[in-house]
Amino acid sequence: MSWLSSLKSVFSPSQEVKEEEVQQVLQSYILPNSEHALKDRITQVNVQGQVLQITINTFPSEADDLQKIHDDLADALDKCGITELNMHVIQQKTGHTSGGCGHQHAEGESCSSQPKAQSAALKNSLPPVVDASAAPVQKAEDTDPNNPPIQKAAPQQRDVPKHPRIQNVILVSSGKGGVGKSTTTVNLALALQKLGLKVGVLDADIYGPSIPTMLGNAGRTPMIEAEHFIPLDAYGLAVLSIGHLTGDHNTPVAWRGPKATGALMQLFNQTLWPDLDVLMIDMPPGTGDIQLTMAQRIPVTGAVIVTTPQNVALMDATKGIELFNRVQIPVIGVVENMSTHICSNCGHEEQIFGTGGGDKLSEQYNIPLLGRLPLNVQIRENADAGKPSVAAEDEAAESYMAIAEKIAAGLTLAEKDQNRIF
């Protein structure tokens, strides 16, 4: 594979980087004090974000020109969106020669547009540069710079294998925080259980887990058997959250995206879930790493969108629906939370957050409005006390049950063995 084909196949999709202009710079540059083109000396190209790393062959007589080559390229590539250039030099003859970087360039040394400390740190983070001469030789007719090799596509929902013990996975999601998503998750889980289904709850809100508090088992930690977590029991639900592993309410989970998504996959795959009809997953707000991980690595039956009626919440809920549509996850419907408030003293009804938000989403995307939930102090008090509305059988319990019935009607459930005890 030529270096140009390699560049086209690994180039960052970042809109800040102008791929064609980068190729033109590398192909048109002529080495100082010679008639040799740089493109004939490039053996390897690596791209990471807006950082470009190239490997070139040089000769001892060209050592004084290395810094000029690097600076010329860095200036030209900066206009193409490349903010940093690292040039790795491989000399064709042994021995040390004076380099334009101000130090001796032995075989395999580098010039970088970063200070030494930053360059060393970057070197550790970038993929290793290998000499292209060691790669298998390809015939010229087999290499077409205009048709780079096809890269492996991201996994699709249809390709994700089903969990052996979980029939349906339902995501409870919202575009923003503070709309009552976690409260809706635990109450719908309890309502589905009351309908006769075996239900579990996974708290995927890695940074702000609230499920342990709402289900009354905060501070408890799961047992481990054969390197697998044993989910905790709460009102007959199989439950697991990162909050059960941190030990207390005060420990922040300050993880970058890859570590957070890795923890989520571990909670899903390394947990001895019982045979479940439904696993309810309480999602974090937004449309980031965890949502994409779910779409590509966990078999999802559908998503329930939770919103409040006001326009700000609807805007973010719309983004969530658009994301699920793009990754082929069906949207089961919309739950409009905090829909109306009835004064406990005078009985006056008031739409504090506006009206018609759920209806607008339902009409815009042709998805069901599963139900409306009131802004009721009992919902909050019971959730804070670790006994959600459905378990406490308060005024809102009936509304949650009605929503759960609509969800259950669309699920595919395995035929139950009447002889089973569990």
Give the CATH number, domain containing residue 247.
3.40.50.300
Do 65 and 201 fall within a single domain? no
| 331-336 and 302-307 strand pairing | parallel
220, 238, 382 from 394: Cα distances, Å: 26, 23, 9
In the chain, the number of structural domains is: 2
| 161-176 residue pLDDT tens | 889 999 999 999 887 6
The pLDDT tens digits for 353-387 are 656 667 788 888 889 999 888 888 888 888 889 99
Give the tokens for residue 409: 């009607």
Same domain, 231 and 314: yes
Q: Which residue range is the domain that position 65 belongs to? A: 3-131
- Name the H helices within 200-356: 211-214, 243-246, 257-269, 289-297, 311-326
Residue 69 sits in the same domain as residue 180: no
Residues 73 and 216 placed together within one structural domain of the fold: no
**Choice between 8 and 162, residue whose per-residue pLDDT is larger:** 162
- Give yes or no: residues 300 and 392 share one domain: yes
Length reported for the chain? 422
Task: Give the separation between CA 53 and CA 215, rounded to whole angstroms.
Answer: 51
Same domain, 122 and 169: no
The answer to whether residue 419 is domain-embedded is no
Q: Is pLDDT of 119 > 60?
A: no
147, pLDDT greater than 70: no
Whether residues 170 and 110 share a domain: the answer is no
Phi/psi of residue 27, nearest 5 degrees: -85, -25
**Predicted pLDDT at 220:** 87
Indicate whether 240 and 191 sit together in one domain. Answer: yes
Q: Supply the pLDDT for residue 172.
A: 92
Enter the pTM of the model: 0.60
Residue scoring higher pLDDT (97 or 63): 63
For residue 357, being part of any structural domain is answered with yes
* Claim to verify: residue 297 and residue 392 sit in the same structural domain: yes
Q: 205-263, pLDDT tens digit by residue?
A: 877 788 999 999 888 888 988 888 899 999 999 999 888 877 666 555 555 656 777 87
Is position 19 within any domain? Answer: yes
Residues 323 and 378 in one domain: yes
Percent of residues, the chain, with pLDDT higher than 90: 22
Q: Is residue 139 a part of any domain in this protein? A: no
Contacts with 345 (C-beta within 8 Å, 6 or more apart), sequence order:
none
Provide the annotated binding site for ATP: 175-182
Which of 22, 18, 77, 66 is closest to 41 using CA atoms?
66
What angle, 0 to 180 degrees and rounded to 10, lies between the N-to-C axes of helices 311-326 and 357-365?
30
Question: How many C-beta neighbours within 10 Å does residue 309 have?
Answer: 22
Both 399 and 300 in a single domain? yes
Annotated binding residues? 175-182
Q: Which pLDDT band, with edges at 50, 70 and 90, does 318 fall under?
A: confident
Q: Do 236 and 374 sit in the same domain of this protein?
A: yes
Tell me the β-bridge partners of 202: 240, 281
